[in-house]
Structure 1
């Protein structure tokens, strides 16, 4: 088996379409078909089937069984490449959401960089939760942190943090109270962040009441700048609240609604069949991360 054939097969599994596979790999469709044919001939099994009238392809039973084998084969090939290049340091690729990077892990990253003899070379990228699952499934990252628990066959998700939500207003607000009901706030002045699906449901019932927010953002940077206006407010988990309070004068209040918003859960996700070459780096990072999180009051789940 060749590496190109395995990568092509796994891309077909992901896209379920020969045309999209060719586009993603910058190949011609005949090349994709040829690679698949060579792989099937070497294995002496039919991996895929295409029904007439349907653009999407389907895996055969043997194809389903071959997917984890192909992933392990590709992982071993990548490890051999690393061995050939004589890598001595540990390499780790991490995928996170924006607020996970900017409000929770940024200090840990800084500590690791400032360590006298850091053993880990890190590649840190920012994505939406659903994108992180896809990157991890394709072994493009080694470890992920997300706010949505999605069901992927080859991914294990573990709850890491469970954070309480608070109301945040500009420090110039006239409504300075320790506890505030959302009915006391002007929904037209809310800076809305859809933290996760259950929070969205709560918000639609208690705040939005079926109306679309006037402004919705998806980055910490925008929250930081927009909250400068005395009329503005938003709801956020404790880690975001603490970080923004370090950078700007804000009024933080507990939520007085009878039904509280669901706490935001952060999940650590990893692949069922991880690259052996990165396991030491993952373990070392997780140990340092847990030591770091234990110093914070963010609702660590142990």
Structure 2
């Protein structure tokens, strides 16, 4: 194992070219500098410095040249660690499915960005099963999805439910009641989004065709929502879609689909680091209320 004082002493000798000057740099005696260099060479298993009696300068061996690069990188990491401790910078890696990242999480992210001391954020989006794997592997601290994870090392916490509503792009000729029956809609004009297995089962039970317009991501919906097209979406999407497309929003009066749930996925194990992350997350979650 390498000790920082030995590496710092090695760098001081290389930069000054003298054991005596290196001793002044690291605030110790020349004999201590010599001892540290010898100790470092024993750890490395190679002679690092060439020291000749009566020679004023000190040169590096071939192994010393190679080790110099390692020592400089070690010093940089040491400085970064000291800066991290001094600035109390906190880190949080957050993942989310696209629809939630765009339409639900902005207040959550803003709350984290306004924290003092600052929080260094890493944000990414992906499919729910990929996000779950990223949390399980430790690449993400937490992920927000619309489907719970069944991974044995993860816990899925339901945060809230969102009613499933109809957004309808009126053609100018037909208006729909606020609470509608699904027979009021032209099934050939549906735009289907695969929100959850439960939602897909509800569509099958209601006899909806599979042969309809289909989009994979919620942000792809708005350009297609025109000329009497319609879609069933969670309530967090209705206001943005109404603002962007002018669509109208409707409840399903009879046998509506189950609400869509928002889940927060995290690891089961607890540590000081995860507890600090949990405190940050709970603080930011309050901004979603």
TM norm structure 2: 0.65
Using the alignment, how far apart are the partners of 1:284 and 1:165 within structure 2? 30
Q: Does 1:148 align with 2:147?
A: yes
SS at match of 2:140: coil
Per-residue CA distance 1:105-140 (angstroms, 9 max, x = gap): 123324544x38462121111111111111111111
Per-residue CA distance 1:10-58 (angstroms, 9 max, x = gap): xxxxxxxxxxxxxxxxxxxxxxxxxxxxxxxxxxxxxxxxxxxxxxxxx
Bigger Rg, which one = 2
Task: Indicate the residue corresponding to 1:293 in structure 2.
Answer: 288
Using the alignment, how far apart are the partners of 1:247 and 1:281 within structure 2? 36
Using the alignment, how far apart are the partners of 1:293 and 1:204 within structure 2? 33
Q: Note the C-alpha offset of 1:276.
A: 3.8
Q: Does 1:132 align with 2:135?
A: no
SS at match of 2:95: strand
Contact residue 96 and residue 132 of structure 1 kept, 8 A: yes
Q: 1:262 aligns with which of 258, 264, 269?
A: 258
Using the alignment, how far apart are the partners of 2:92 and 2:138 within structure 1? 11
Task: Indicate the residue corresponding to 1:231 in structure 2.
Answer: 228
Using the alignment, how far apart are the partners of 1:161 and 1:198 within structure 2? 16
Change (3 A) 1:91 1:103: same
Change (3 A) 1:196 1:106: same
Using the alignment, how far apart are the partners of 1:250 and 1:82 within structure 2? 57
Q: Note the C-alpha offset of 1:188.
A: 1.7
Using the alignment, how far apart are the partners of 2:78 and 2:270 within structure 1? 15
Change (3 A) 1:213 1:83: farther
Change (3 A) 1:196 1:263: same
Q: Note the C-alpha offset of 1:213.
A: 3.7
Using the alignment, how far apart are the partners of 2:130 and 2:142 within structure 1? 13
Using the alignment, how far apart are the partners of 1:192 and 1:230 within structure 2? 16
Change (3 A) 1:102 1:213: farther
Q: Note the C-alpha offset of 1:147.
A: 1.5
- Mapping for residues 1-302 of structure 1, pairs under 5 Å: 85-86=81-82, 87=84, 88-113=88-113, 115=114, 117=116, 119-172=118-171, 174-208=174-208, 211-227=209-225, 229-257=226-254, 259-273=255-269, 276-289=272-285, 291-294=286-289
User: Gapped runs of 5+ residues in structure 2?
Assistant: 1-76
Per-residue CA distance 1:218-240 (angstroms, 9 max, x = gap): 2222112211x122100011111
How many residue pairs get matched? 208
Using the alignment, how far apart are the partners of 1:178 and 1:160 within structure 2? 28
SS at match of 2:206: helix
Using the alignment, how far apart are the partners of 1:274 and 1:172 within structure 2? 55
Change (3 A) 1:207 1:245: farther
Contact residue 149 and residue 265 of structure 2 kept, 8 A: no
Q: Note the C-alpha offset of 1:279.
A: 3.6
SS at match of 1:230: coil
CA RMSD of aligned residues (A): 2.4
Using the alignment, how far apart are the partners of 2:252 and 2:91 within structure 1? 43
Contact residue 149 and residue 155 of structure 2 kept, 8 A: no
Using the alignment, how far apart are the partners of 1:83 and 1:285 within structure 2? 29
SS at match of 1:85: helix
